[in-house]
Amino acid sequence: MKYLKVSIAKLVKIEGLPIILVYFVLMVVFIITATKVFTGYRIYMSFLQTVPPLLILALGLTFVITAGEMDLSFSAIIAFSGFIFCYIFRTFGTPWLAFILALSSGALVGLINGWMVAKVGIPSIMATLAAQFFWNGLTILLSGGLSWNIKEIRPYFIHTLFVGRIGGIVPAQSLWGVGVAVFLWFILNRHTFGEHILFIGDNVDVARVMGVNVTATKIKLFVFMGVISAFAGILLTLEMINFWTTQGAGLLLPTIAAVFIGGTSLAGGYGTVIGSFFGAYIVGSLEAGVVASGIGGYWTRLVTGLVMAASVSLNIILSREKGKGLRERIKESVFIKNL
Amino acid sequence: MLKKGQFKNAVKMNNIEKYFGHTAALKGVNFGVGANEVVGLIGDNGAGKSTLIKIITGVFPPTKGELYIRDKKVSLRDYNVKQAYKLGIETVYQDKSLGEKQDLWRNFFIGRQITNRFGFIKVREEKEIAQKIMFDIIGFRGAGITAESKANKLSGGERQGIAIGRAMYFDAELIILDEPTSALSLKEVHKVLNFVRKIKDSGRACIYISHILSDVYEISDKFIILDRGKVVATIKKSEVTLKKLSEFMLKYAHAK
């Protein structure tokens, strides 16, 4: 029994383990309920094609929530940066200029968000909600409310690089998703920027008195989220070879759900990149899975709600168990010898 | 281990004023802490103790006035927490010392991480040093806690131990303790007071803030009494008994 407890405690320490389990359980369920679909490779390729924008957004949002903040404007950034990308490409025919300016447009939105939050002191949920309306509105104004097709971009290298099919099968954006995830894991867990985010989310006063420049870090955080959102927007636009004014709207709640399913704490101070990775794939595969299982598309949201409730509960229960065991061990064995 | 500073005062404040909006937190504060002096900073809640400390540690600048660290005038515009670290000022805050959900090794180095030139933290190095501080300087024993434990797994005394160990490791010239004993048991308070004596013996300076006058009296060389943003008295220990000091303080408490 004791060994079992110790090994459970060790396992729980692996980042994102509960959510990885949930993911595989879900996949097994789908393999059982929709055997035909889920034993073929096509459904997985379709996930690898559709999930990456959601995944990349969730990874960025993980940082924001870890810092104890919220960003609701990223869905508007997706539309805005997508529009900038299409506009520059169609006007000048230079995809890389379009790419850079689209990323910059995301950075600009983020900078204004960060300024409102860190300098003016508006709570981030309000500031970014206002930003969502504003930038979405501006996008609609600028685009005339139309969707823009950019099928001329297909032969360009940028299309192959970001959304091509490797070996004719694997969508390139899935590798970009993995790459961004690995990179951001290191930023959150091994870089001073990530550590400052962790401390700001944990206790902003501690962060301040210990020498973290809270204002600058928060502004950087929102700029970072803006750039990440713009990148997701570019991937989406490239994949669809189309821009439309509401292209980010459907991603807002699923992204937030993915982060929470992953186990990142709403209270701030703790965030898991691995959790958000699997959270995004769970959210992204639910719809297809539920539909393929034959119980009907109407069930998708209901099942998403259940999975989210189950994952969040699982995370809380497991971390509570861990705390109990440790606390007792500490009481027995530790004291201060001499100061 | 005796260390001789090449300066007269660890900190000196000239006519420091601090306004938050229109509210004055500090009004014309003058005071100094000698290079090897323990100063007890006392005053009721809202007297301005924390504001004063935060100016010294670079958390925010004063509105007006001059600040000298190690006899050198500090440029108020450039002064910040990192500068204060470089000038050997370490602070142990009452409850703001540790990030609760963070690993202890992160708590040791937050604000001055050991990094490569791209800003990535050298985790192994930080962990090793943290472990060393915990065992050699603070004296943590037993299996339960390592440098990878989270701060919220520690008791109040252990937390303060970590904060004090951190201050010792970074070899401060001036250590500021802001209500370090408020959450501690008697035995742990005793350890903290011993630590202050060690600071004095090793030739360093200390500012000790506490509501518990008997503690302050026991270890301080000099008392500075703040009341509503002003220094109302600077008294040497030789000039006053504990009883007189308490009576004096009560007078200010009643004056409100």
pLDDT at A325: 47
Interface test with A, best of B79, B102, B140, B195 (most A CBs within 10 A): B102
Structure tokens at A82: 């997508």
pLDDT at A327: 47
Smallest Cβ–Cβ distance between B191 and the set A212, A327, A336 belongs to A336
Smallest Cβ–Cβ distance between A212 and the set B110, B142, B153 belongs to B110
Flag whether residue B240 sits within 8 Å of chain A, measured between CB atoms.
no
Residues of A in contact with B106 (CB under 8 A): 195, 198-199
Q: Report d(CA B5, CA A271) in Å as an integer.
A: 44
CA distances from B125 to A178, A201, B108, B122, B138 (A): 28, 25, 12, 6, 19
Interface test with B, best of A12, A183, A339 (most B CBs within 10 A): A339
Are the C-beta atoms of A76 and A252 separated by less than 8 Å? no
Q: Report d(CA A26, CA B149) in Å as an integer.
A: 33
- Residue A295 pLDDT level (bands cut at 50, 70, 90): confident
Flag whether residue B42 sits within 8 Å of chain A, measured between CB atoms.
no
- Cross-strand partners of B38: B206
pLDDT at A318: 74
CATH 3.40.50.300 intervals, chain B: 9-98+174-254
What average pLDDT does this structure show over A202-217? 94
- Residue A10 pLDDT level (bands cut at 50, 70, 90): low
Q: Which residues contact B230 (CB under 8 A, 6 or more apart)?
A: B26, B27, B28, B29, B48
Decide: helix, strand or coil at residue A107.
helix
What average pLDDT does this structure show over B204-228? 90
Flag whether residue A332 sits within 8 Å of chain B, measured between CB atoms.
yes
Q: Check: CATH 3.20.10.10 for B9-98+174-254?
A: no
The residue with tokens 């709403």 is: A266
**B144/A329 Cβ within 8 A:** yes
Structure tokens at A138: 């501006």
Q: A15-323: what fold?
A: ABC transporter involved in vitamin B12 uptake, BtuC (1.10.3470)
Average pLDDT across chain A, whole number? 89
pLDDT one-digit tens code per residue, B131-163: 988 888 777 776 578 888 888 888 777 888 888
pTM for the full predicted model: 0.89
pLDDT at B182 over 90: no
What average pLDDT does this structure show over A198-223? 95
pLDDT at A91: 93
Decide: helix, strand or coil at residue B117.
coil
Sheet holding B89-92, edge to edge: B89-92, B174-178, B205-209, B38-42, B222-227, B230-236
Distance from CA of A161 to the nearest CA of B (A): 27
pLDDT at A312: 83
Closest CA to B158 of A43, A267, A336: A336
Decide: helix, strand or coil at residue B39.
strand
The residue with tokens 């709640």 is: A253
pLDDT one-digit tens code per residue, A243-283: 999 898 899 999 999 999 999 988 899 999 999 999 999 99
**B99/A192 Cβ within 8 A:** no
Distance from CA of B238 to the nearest CA of A (A): 28
pLDDT one-digit tens code per residue, B95-124: 778 999 999 999 999 989 999 999 999 999
Flag whether residue A206 sits within 8 Å of chain B, measured between CB atoms.
yes
Q: Which residues contact B247 (CB under 8 A, 6 or more apart)?
A: none
- Residue B248 pLDDT level (bands cut at 50, 70, 90): confident
Structure tokens at A172: 């390139």
Residues of B in contact with A213 (CB under 8 A): 80
pLDDT one-digit tens code per residue, A67-123: 999 999 999 999 999 999 999 999 998 999 999 999 999 999 999 999 999 999 999
Flag whether residue A301 sits within 8 Å of chain B, measured between CB atoms.
no
CA distances from B59 to A1, A208, B76 (A): 50, 7, 11
Flag whether residue A330 sits within 8 Å of chain B, measured between CB atoms.
yes
pLDDT one-digit tens code per residue, B81-100: 999 998 999 998 877 789 99
Residue A205: closest CA among chain B residues belongs to which residue? B96
